[in-house]
């Protein structure tokens, strides 16, 4: 249980975050650029640390450790696979984003397209992003904070409710609301200035805390050798389906395999180190597309960087640390928790990480680690609040409703909208069963937007009408896929029978909700959206040539896919050749994977392999940095202000 010293540490940390917001409030309130993109003054290390701190919220260690407990280390590829896209973002999209000099990624739509359809697409994209996607993300992060409050702070959900603003609220929910309010105050006072600089501090605290807990977890179970020996024959108590009988079953992760065995069966997920073919397709072929685009809050940091080199290096730092470094301690804690807590009962696998924190750490350190998790929560929340607000203010309110007001007016509106976005996210968290549930919804819905977003950059003939067509198809079919049977009162999900027959699913395996068919659902939505965006674009009027030329000249995009536009621009010189981008992409992937495999070999007590992989990482990183300096000169006119 928490002791007085722990509460003092946690309270002092939360208060310091609010004070940072007050400190930056004057600078952030100068104008919209200051509030949403920090006046474009961020360096690569501040922006990179902010991306990392935002990306791993309090939900991420809970989610990763739960994946390890349920399926084994190989299941964490659901977390690692997007590094493929992040690497492409480093060498291509981060640089093009920074050259656009827009305030939000939705503003790009009217830089890319022309006519009323472009304005409508910008409004729709901003509205869905701020009012649906952002609150869903707030919801799953809040859900994790509720778990932390109940398991780590000892505020059990079945305890007597407490009064808060005249309402009866369970203690774990009340604690979450208090911390969320602190994040809201930080964001509303300081804008992106306060968010990124507190992110920098929070990143250091949270990372140090994660490694400390991992090291102490290994010591607690008797060392790496003992942990590996026990896990090699680990059995877990599992309730038989349809009864209360508990039986022991082999843990699917026996052998600690990093690379999964690919099974042709769509119902094979959960076997010893196996992954269904559909999830292989989903994770390694589809999941990273949206990450490659580097949109949303990542685009916000990229656009706030000094120039293209800082933008590229910021995303490189994020890619290396987020995928290859910070995930390792979470994996270790998940593995150790299987030995310490083989059966978590109704608390579920999400509770493993905070329960390990309480079980292992002494007073004082416990408070520091909980403060670190709260830091991760505040970091992500403040980013999501600022990001959602930027969409409403910059892409809806200032663009379509009040166009000529002063900067102070827009900043005031931004602060009000920030509160509204926070409330919507809190409501979603109250009606969600688990983090994984929201993630699966996000993967399916986000896949459609990702394929359309990529096509926007790859081919000049894509139009705003094509994007609107794909948008309608995405949300109609994704809604039918996920919730259609409930809306129409059907016993079986709408697509289960036809897709089950088409994919050869075993009886009882649902195309709609089974974990092992997630990749198939992503592929289904991706293909529908690809057809819709291409068909809608070809059947509509092409974008105004002058608008396309402006877009090309500002982004300095490669020639393939844009030859019809670039041939009209005298002496056009793209920033990068396609062959150069492909080589850079492969190098960054190899750099990150060499470090990831090195650290995983340390976890599995294979230090010889870990050493030569780490040496490869160092060499590859130096090559990547040298190429970045050459490809992004500091006097790049499009990349420096």
Q: What is the pLDDT of residues 401-424, one digit of tens each?
A: 887 777 678 777 777 777 777 777
pLDDT of res. 383: 74
Specify the pLDDT at position 491: 74
Contact (Cβ atoms closer than 8 angstroms) between residue 419 and residue 187: no
| Predicted local distance difference test score (pLDDT) of residue 515 | 66
For 634, list phi and psi in degrees, rounded to 5: -70, -15
d(C-alpha 163, C-alpha 153), whole Å: 18
Q: Are the CB atoms for 298 and 315 separated by under 8 Å?
A: yes
pLDDT of 341 > 50? The answer is yes
Angle, helices 327-340 vs 171-220, to 10°: value is 90
Contacts of 170 (CB under 8 A, 6+ apart): 155, 157, 159, 161, 162
Predicted pLDDT at 367:
80
Q: What angle do CA 380, 385, 386 make, to 5 degrees?
A: 100
Q: Measured over all CA atoms, what is the biggest interatomic distance in the chain, rounded to whole angstroms?
A: 75
Looking at the predicted structure, is the pLDDT value of residue 470 above 90? yes
Q: Pairing relation of β-strands 274-276 and 261-263?
A: parallel
Who wins on pLDDT, 321 or 152? 321
* pLDDT tier for residue 94 given thresholds of 50, 70 and 90: very high
Structure-model confidence comparison of residues 91 and 139, the more confident one: 91
Average pLDDT (12-35) is 63
Looking at per-residue confidence, does 407 or 565 come out higher?
565
Give the C-alpha separation, 49 to 640, whole Å.
Answer: 21
Tokens of 380: 């992500």
Query: What is the DSSP annotation of 584-613?
Result: HHHHHHHHHHHHHHHHHHHHTT-HHHHHHH
Give the pLDDT band (50/70/90) at residue 361: confident
- Tell me what percent of the residues of the chain surpass a pLDDT of 90: 25
List the alpha helices (DSSP H) in 256-307. Answer: 277-281, 288-293, 296-303
Whether pLDDT at 641 is above 70: no
**Per-residue confidence at 640, pLDDT binned at 50, 70, 90?**
very low
Contact 498, 512 (CB under 8 A): no
User: Do residues 512 and 521 touch, judged by C-beta distance below 8 A?
Assistant: yes
Specify the pLDDT at position 196. Answer: 73
Tell me what pLDDT residue 88 has. Answer: 95
Alpha carbon distance 428, 438 (integer Å): 10
pLDDT of residue 537: 95
pLDDT of 378 over the 80 cut: no
Q: 220 exposed, middle or buried (CB, 10 Å; 0-12, 13-18, 19+)?
A: middle
Could you tell me the two tokens for 147?
């778990």
Q: Are 518 and 481 in contact (CB under 8 A)?
A: no
Q: Which region among 80-84, 182-186, 417-421, 478-482 has the lowest average model confidence (pLDDT)?
A: 182-186
How confident is the model over 259-315, as pLDDT tens digits? 777 765 544 444 455 677 877 888 888 888 888 988 877 887 888 888 899 999 999
Query: CA separation (Å) from 69 to 218, 237, 352, 448, 491?
Result: 16, 12, 9, 30, 31
Q: At which residue do the structure tokens 């009866």 appear?
A: 168
Using the predicted structure, report yes or no on whether residue 318 has a pLDDT greater than 90: yes
pLDDT confidence tier of residue 552, bands split at 50, 70 and 90: very high
pLDDT digits (tens, 9 = 90+) for 217-236: 999 999 988 988 888 888 77
d(CA 523, CA 526): 5
3-state secondary structure of 164: strand
- For 4-241+261-432+575-631, which CATH class? mainly alpha
Contact 397, 413 (CB under 8 A): yes
Span 552-562, mean pLDDT?
A: 92
C-alpha span between 265 and 408 (Å, rounded): 59
Q: What is the mean pLDDT of the chain?
A: 79
Sequential DSSP letters for 521-588: HHHHHHHHHHHHHHHHHHTSPPPPHHHHHHHHHHHT--STT-HHHHTTSTT---SS-HHHHHHHHHHH
**How many C-beta neighbours within 10 Å does residue 154 have?**
13
What is the DSSP annotation of 88-123? HIIIIIHHHHHHH--SSTTHHHHHH--SHHHHHHHH
Whether pLDDT at 164 is above 70 = no
pLDDT for residue 159: 52
- Ramachandran sector of residue 294 (left: φ over 0; alpha: ψ -120 to 50; beta: rest): left
Which one is predicted more confidently, 474 or 103?
474
Q: Is the dihedral of CA 82, 83, 85, 89 positive or negative?
A: positive
Q: What is the mean pLDDT of residues 344-350?
A: 70
């Amino acid at each position: 249980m928490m002791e007085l010293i722990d509460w003092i540490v946690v309270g002092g940390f939360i208060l310091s975050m609010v004070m940072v917001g007050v400190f930056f409030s004057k600078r952030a309130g100068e104008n919209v650029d200051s509030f949403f993109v920090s006046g474009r003054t961020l360096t690569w290390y501040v922006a990179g640390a902010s991306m990392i701190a935002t990306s791993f919220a309090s939900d991420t260690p809970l989610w990763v450790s739960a994946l390890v407990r349920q399926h084994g280390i190989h299941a964490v590829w659901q977390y690692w696979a997007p590094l493929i896209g992040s690497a492409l973002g480093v060498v291509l999209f981060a640089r093009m984003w920074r050259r656009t000099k827009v305030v939000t990624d939705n503003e790009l739509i009217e830089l890319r397209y022309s006519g009323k359809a472009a304005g409508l697409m910008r409004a729709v994209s901003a509205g869905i992003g701020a009012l649906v996607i952002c609150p869903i993300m707030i919801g799953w992060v809040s859900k994790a904070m509720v778990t932390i409050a109940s398991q780590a702070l000892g505020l059990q959900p079945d305890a007597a409710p407490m009064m808060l603003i005249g309402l009866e609220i369970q203690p774990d929910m009340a604690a979450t609301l208090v911390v969320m309010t602190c994040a809201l105050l930080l964001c509303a006072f300081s804008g992106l200035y306060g968010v990124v600089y507190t992110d920098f501090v929070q990143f250091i605290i949270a990372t140090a805390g994660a490694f400390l807990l991992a090291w102490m977890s290994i010591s607690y179970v008797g060392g790496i050798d003992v942990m590996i020996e026990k896990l090699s024959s680990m059995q877990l108590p599992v309730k038989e389906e349809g009864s209360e009988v508990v039986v022991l079953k082999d843990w699917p992760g026996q052998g600690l395999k990093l690379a999964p065995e690919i099974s042709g069966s769509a119902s094979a997920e959960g076997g010893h180190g196996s992954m269904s073919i559909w999830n292989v397709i989903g994770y390694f072929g589809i999941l990273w597309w949206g990450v490659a685009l580097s949109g949303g809050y990542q685009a916000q940091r990229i656009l706030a960087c000094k120039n293209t080199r800082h933008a590229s290096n910021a995303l490189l730092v994020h890619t290396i640390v987020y995928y290859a470094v910070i995930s390792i301690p979470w994996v270790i804690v998940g593995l150790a928790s299987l030995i310490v807590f083989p059966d978590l009962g109704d608390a579920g696998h999400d509770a493993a990480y905070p329960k390990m924190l309480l079980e292992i750490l002494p007073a004082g350190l416990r408070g520091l680690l909980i403060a670190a998790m709260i830091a991760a929560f505040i970091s992500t929340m403040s980013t999501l609040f600022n990001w959602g607000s930027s969409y409403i203010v910059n892409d809806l309110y200032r663009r379509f409703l009040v166009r000529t007001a002063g900067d102070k007016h827009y900043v005031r509106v931004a602060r009000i909208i920030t509160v509204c976005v926070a409330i919507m996210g809190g409501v979603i968290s109250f009606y969600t069963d688990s983090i994984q549930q929201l993630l699966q919804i996000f993967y399916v819905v986000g896949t459609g937007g990702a394929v359309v977003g990529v096509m926007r950059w790859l081919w000049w003939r894509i139009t705003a009408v094509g994007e609107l067509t794909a948008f309608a198809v995405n949300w109609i079919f994704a809604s039918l896929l996920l919730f259609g049977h409930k809306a129409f009162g059907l016993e079986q999900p709408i697509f289960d029978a036809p897709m089950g027959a088409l994919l050869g699913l075993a009886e009882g395996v649902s195309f709609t909700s089974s974990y092992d068919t997630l990749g198939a659902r992503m592929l289904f939505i991706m293909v529908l959206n690809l057809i819709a965006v291409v068909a809608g674009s070809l059947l509509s009027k092409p974008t105004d040539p002058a608008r396309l030329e402006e877009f090309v000249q500002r982004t300095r995009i490669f020639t393939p896919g844009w030859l019809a536009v670039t041939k009209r621009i005298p002496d056009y010189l793209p920033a990068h050749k396609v062959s150069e981008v492909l080589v850079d992409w492969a190098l960054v992937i190899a750099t990150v994977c060499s470090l990831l495999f090195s650290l995983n070999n340390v976890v599995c007590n294979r230090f010889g392999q870990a050493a030569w992989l780490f040496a490869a990482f160092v060499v590859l990183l130096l090559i990547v940095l040298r190429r970045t300096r050459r490809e992004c000169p500091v006097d790049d006119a499009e990349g420096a202000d």
